Amino acid sequence: MNNKVGTITEIQRFCLHDGPGIRTTVFLKGCNMRCVWCHNPETLRPTFDILVQPTKCIRCGACVEECTHGARKIDEHTGDIAYRTDYCVSCGACAESCYSSAIVRVGRNLSVSEVLLEVAEDRAYYDRSGGGVTISGGEPTCQLEFTVALLRACRGHGLHAALETNLYAPWDRVEIALREADLVMFDIKLMSQVRHREATGVSNTRILHNATRLSQLGTPLIVRTPVVPGYNDTPLEIGKIARYISRFPSLLYYELLPFHPLGTSKYESLGMPYLMGGVHEPSPDSMRALADSAREAGIAVKIAGLIDGQVQASGDDNDNGNAFAAPFLLGQT
Ligand code: SF4
Ligand code: SF4
């Protein structure tokens, strides 16, 4: 019995793009980076979020009655429901009262034992496909104790446990989690420190340092780059990253993830500004050209979601903001 509690955004079953085989991905809440292209804004804050979709509202007024904080009020003139985010304490009472799902609370607190019970349900699929459990986010190491306990619990019960992390934390803090994982997946988004700070809010110095130390542990690694037009979609940038990671002895492969503007509606629902308006996904041809430039470093390269020459959105936009929603294809080296 492990009673350590974490704040979870979602537990998603049958994931095909969060590591090898069929996997269950546990998305943890809270992130210490702010990538401008993040398509999971609901994972950024460590606390619960309230997603509001006014187009689904039938103006029944149930949420107004339920809210004891004055955060939801009926506009006398229009009859619309006004939402004061500055009054809202994310208690979720309105979401529970809303029959039309116009309000959804994102986040729930679960113990390690509860998560384990849920993820273990698909053990047969993991065994058959070489899959397992992936702990993702947000950034899982923001809930370090819970992450470590969950990794241990999964492995202790014979489940392959992967950790998807941004590596942006002091080594001494995250080492324990990295050592508990059967597989670590992390992003290198840009090699330029200045550009990295502009795009993510933080320098990449610590990430690159941690990546090098991690590679010395011998843990199998998958390195990924979300390919974002205007930021890193050039053979020069991708080639630099590929050369950097080519010296990691335990690198399984490098994966390029084409940007998809999938998170747009979530930003609206959360009342957050979306900074990637008008940016489109890179074409399959440009993705192939980038993959070719990466292969020049002598490493295996995959392009996520390239099926029959077309970049496919998976329809699952609840992937980690570090990486992009797209089906994972085996054998596309
Ligand atoms: S409970 Fe839901 S449907 Fe009813 S007014 Fe509130 S948001 Fe609209
Ligand atoms: S989450 Fe709670 S405080 Fe916020 S609007 Fe809903 S009922 Fe009110």
Gap between the Cα atoms of 265 and 252, Å rounded: 34
Q: Is the pTM of this model over 0.85?
A: yes
Taking Cα atoms as reference points, which of 50, 57, 88 lies closest to residue 72?
88
Question: Which ligand 1 atom sits nearest the alpha carbon of residue 72?
Answer: 6
Q: Is the CB of 66 under 6 A from ligand 2?
A: yes
Letter for the amino acid at 227?
V
- Contact assessment for residue 193 and residue 168, using Cβ atoms and an 8 Å cutoff: no
Q: What domains sit in the chain, N to C, each tagged with a CATH number?
A: 5-46+109-311 (3.20.20.70), 49-106 (3.30.70.20)
101 CA from centroid of ligand 2 (Å): 14
Q: What's the pLDDT at 263?
A: 76
Does pLDDT of 290 surpass 50? yes
Cβ partners under 8 Å of residue 77, min gap 6 = none
The pLDDT value given to residue 17 = 85
Please indicate whether residue 64, judged by its CB atom, sits closer than 6 Å to ligand 2: no
Residue identifier of the C-alpha nearest atom 2 of ligand 1:
98
Strands (DSSP E) found in the chain: 5-15, 23-28, 49-52, 72-74, 81-83, 103-106, 108-111, 132-136, 161-165, 183-187, 221-227, 251-258, 301-303, 306-307, 310-311
CA–CA separation, 176 and 146 (whole Å): 12
**Ligand 2 center from residue 215 Cα (angstroms):** 45
What pLDDT is recorded for position 66? 96
Average pLDDT estimate for 96-106? 94
Q: Which of 39-43, 75-79, 210-214, 314-318 has the lowest mean pLDDT?
A: 314-318
Q: Is the C-beta atom of 57 inside 6 A of ligand 2?
A: no
Distance 30 CA to ligand 1 centre (A): 27
Q: Is the CB of 102 under 6 A from ligand 1?
A: yes
Q: List helix spans (H) across the chain.
A: 62-66, 93-97, 112-119, 123-129, 144-156, 171-180, 193-200, 205-215, 235-245, 264-270, 284-295
Q: Is 280 helix (H, G, I), strand (E, B) or coil?
A: coil
pLDDT category, 80, cuts 50, 70, 90?
confident
pLDDT digits 0-9 by tens, 22-36:
999 999 999 999 999
Of all atoms in ligand 2, which is nearest to the CA of residue 66?
7
Q: Is the CB of 67 under 6 A from ligand 2?
A: yes
* Residue 173 CB contacts under 8 Å (≥ 6 apart), including other chains: 141, 144
DSSP 120: G
Query: Which ligand is in closest contact with the Cα of 64?
Result: 1
Q: Cα of 105 to ligand 2 centre, how many Å?
A: 9
Q: What is the mean pLDDT of residues 289-308?
A: 89
